[in-house]
Structure 1
């Protein structure tokens, strides 16, 4: 069955937080966000392009594959694994900058979801890593959501036993908190 011409395709390009690590497919972030948007009467389809363990370099490497899905909009959620592996923030910035430029060149409005580094790597790394996302948000015309795991990180009742990945309740809270930013993103779609 062909999709209606009005259906907006939203690419969710990310890592395990997007893929839905440890969850049923219908509990993953893209599925839950699609459900929430459809409940508002929005004709959208979310494309789950999350790959567990992916870094920003991995997202950059598979960008052509992701764009083959012909999205109208994109949510970019990458960087958590860069932070966990303590990769050079300059590389993280360069990879995300490349992805953002490609999406912009394709005329695809973007919501950039920020990430924070683990606090055990020290204040200097933490500040450098956080600045990657704020810098990119300031230098690109994106909708910016500063911390993808806002309200979920560090909350045992909202995370899987590994303490890193959200459980189904955690995903629901992420969707609830990011929804106003996604609405702003949808306002940017061209008719």
Structure 2
């Protein structure tokens, strides 16, 4: 066999072997934003919802993430508990868990809300899925006694399960009418942007702890 032909075969074999041992490209970190209308993006274009805006900002910072929107308008913690297993697929790296606002609006016993959230966090951790817990505050019209029982739920669960907590999802928006829809309860597109900006340091620290970095 001529030298040139033999040399070419050796090169082809070497390139094939390199292709076999070359590490596969890392897959994006799969994250699920799991919650109610505040997560879903009530009355907003799909691209304005919290998970979509957050994913866009994180990608701009060089983080390779995909954030699925598993928000359902009107969902309570009971509804979330009923659907979380099939709403969060295997292979998910982390869940941003935001539920409880509708429980408070409906006057559901805070003890039940806490029980449901506790079970969701526990089940996710058993599946090897990290959790960032997002807190809510009871509306003032529910009274001081209800608020006292409700508002401590998230801190207790975060401490029990040793998961990070972002204390109040609507921070920076709840008292700003120009950042809300006409109902005075849900953020508009600019309001969601404010929520993303305020929550970003917590999200980045959370992802860093999971090995997701820019």
Query: What band does the TM-score fall into relative to the shorter chain?
Result: over 0.9
- Please report how far the alpha carbon of residue 154 of structure 1 lies from its aligned counterpart in structure 2 after TM superposition: 2.5
Deviates more, 1:61-70 or 1:47-56: 61-70
Question: TM-score when scaled to structure 1?
Answer: 0.95
**Is the 1:73–1:185 contact (alpha carbons within 8 Å) kept by the matching residues of 2?**
no
Higher Rg of the two aligned structures: 2
* Partner in structure 2 of residue 55 of structure 1: 76
Does 2:214 match 1:186?
Answer: no
Listed as ranges, the gaps of 5+ residues in structure 1 are none
Residue in structure 2 matched with residue 125 of structure 1 by the alignment: 146
Which of 12, 17, 33 is residue 12 of structure 1 equivalent to?
Answer: 33
Q: Indicate the SS of the match to 2:132.
A: strand
Q: What is the 5 A alignment of 1:30-179?
A: 30-68=51-89, 70-179=91-200
Moved over 6 A (4+): none
Mapped partners of 1:190, 1:43: distance in 2: 11
| Structure 2 unaligned spans of 5+ | 1-24
Is the CA contact 1:32–1:172 (under 8 Å) kept in the aligned structure 2? yes
Q: Corresponding residue for 2:7?
A: none
Q: Which has the higher helix share?
A: 2
Please give the alpha-carbon distance, in whole angstroms, between the structure 1 residues aligned to 2:117 and 2:211: 23
Give me the whole-angstrom Cα distance separating, in 2, the residues matched to 1:110 and 1:171: 21
TM-score (norm 2): 0.85
1:82-116 deviation per Cα after TM superposition (whole angstroms, max 9, x unaligned): 01111000000000000000111111111100000
